[in-house]
Amino acid sequence: MTTTGCSTPVPRREVRDRHGRVYRVGETDLDIMGRRRAWMVFLPWVGMLGTGSAGYAFASADGMLREAHLRSGGHVLWLLGVWMFFQAAVAFPAGRLRDSGRLRARTAMLLGALGTLLGQVPSAFAPGASIALLGFAVCGGVGAGLVRVTCVTLVGKWYPERRGARTGFVDGGFACGALPLLLLFSRPVDPGGHRGVLVGVGLVCCALVAAAGRFLEDPPKGWWPPGVDPLKVPDDPGIRRALEKNPPAVRQYTPREAARTPVLWTMWSCLLCTAGIGLFGLAFQVPFGRDMGFAGGTLAAAMSLRAVVDGTGRGVVGWVSDRVGRRRTLIVVCLVLGSAQFGVLVSGRAGSVPFFLFCSLVSGFAGGAVLPLFAAMTADCFGEDNNASVYGLVHSSQLVTGLVGAGTAAVAVGAWNYHAAFVLAGSAGLASAVLALFLRAPGRPRARRIVPNPHPLGEEMAS
């Protein structure tokens, strides 16, 4: 990768829109960091690819890890839940440090790479669940949280005019990174052979995350790309449509100000429901398919295809949200996510393998698409300057999902009736669609609430 230095000062200025929001214009991406901003899409994707193996692959290795040292499938769900807890717990403090400038993107990624390595190696040699918990759940969760909050918020800062597709693409790297290990663990692995696999994966993933983070850089606060005047209607039809459907936040909210708005807590509750459904799918769909008589190869194919669809679907849904609006897209995705749970139940009862695979893929597609939508919507509602902090607040809903959801799933896998479990998950998805109806950017008046002047200028002059 080559960089180009700038030998002369670059003229820049600050402009204000009608709401008083300040935009920094005049500098190009080459002026700021010496390379095109497209690198700030590809490199975060590589970072997410490296850290993405942890959650999906650890869950898919359920049977092998049970034989190796955990003995109980419930332990694996607990580990996954604690991993989610620490990933969410680190999001807000890391976001605060990132927004304040005390934690650079490169440093955050280096710490995330170290956490990824420490999350895999102790899991390989753990003699019991407690050490695996410390290694995978704590170190791996903290590392994944640092990488996620850095990557998905950084790309939105570099593409404030059309962030949906890029944010979705970057976030999709997390699911795509799971595919190699899903394929590895779909075959029987000797209990002693898991160590080499996990150590090798840890080393490779650590190298990917650290190498990607080496070149990450934040734009200046308030930066706006050249060629797109923030005070005028853009000439480019794609950018114009994206800004019409997803206008910039009326001002830059601090985390304290954002927390005082009902919009943030509506987003928090909606993410709580949808993330819980995603964890439910990992816990229930494979055991349900096995109990319904589906072959192990079919279930392994379903999980592998789910990871592919999950990863690629996030970018597609982000692109759609740029065209039709983030809120409308989220409502449809939540409806699809809830309906897919009922479809999985019906297909299993009917013994239809194609329908089961289809519903499982749809569930993975919708469940994964929710995460980048919230990341982009956070910036749309509250601005980019404190996006990492505010996104950390929204993402903290997975604190509840991780512990409560995983604990419930660990107990319920062997005790619940599948019918009740899938009906509950489907209902939660439909409820999240209802919550999404109320997601509107704070401070922006609705068009129907704008009352026309009863005495236009012409009538006043005539009288």
Provide the percentage of residues in the chain whose pLDDT is more than 90: 40
Q: Give which of 98, 147, 156 is closest to 373, Cα–Cα.
A: 156
Provide the percentage of residues in the chain whose pLDDT is more than 70: 75
Q: Which amino acid is at 206?
A: C
Report how many domains make up the chain. Answer: 1
Structural domain includes residue 367: yes
Supply the DSSP symbol for 226. Answer: T
Structural domain includes residue 460: no
- The pLDDT assigned to 349 comes to 84
- Give the tens place of pLDDT for each residue, 356-404: 888 888 888 888 889 899 999 999 999 999 999 999 999 999 888 877 6
Structural domain includes residue 455: no
Average pLDDT rounded to a whole number, residues 40-49 = 94
Burial of 214 by CB count in 10 Å (0-12 exposed, 13-18 middle, 19+ buried)?
middle
Residue 379 sits in a domain whose CATH number is: 1.20.1250.20
Q: What is the mean pLDDT of the chain?
A: 81
Domain that holds residue 37: 28-223+238-441
Structural domain includes residue 140: yes
Q: Is the pLDDT of residue 405 over 70?
A: no
Structural domain includes residue 457: no
Q: Quote the CA–CA distance of 448 and 428 in Å, as a whole number.
A: 31
- Give the tens place of pLDDT for each residue, 236-257: 888 889 999 999 999 999 999 9
Structural domain includes residue 22: no
Q: What pTM did the predictor assign?
A: 0.85
Structural domain includes residue 373: yes
- Between the ranges 114-128, 280-294, 432-446, where is the mean pLDDT highest? 432-446
Supply the DSSP symbol for 227. Answer: T
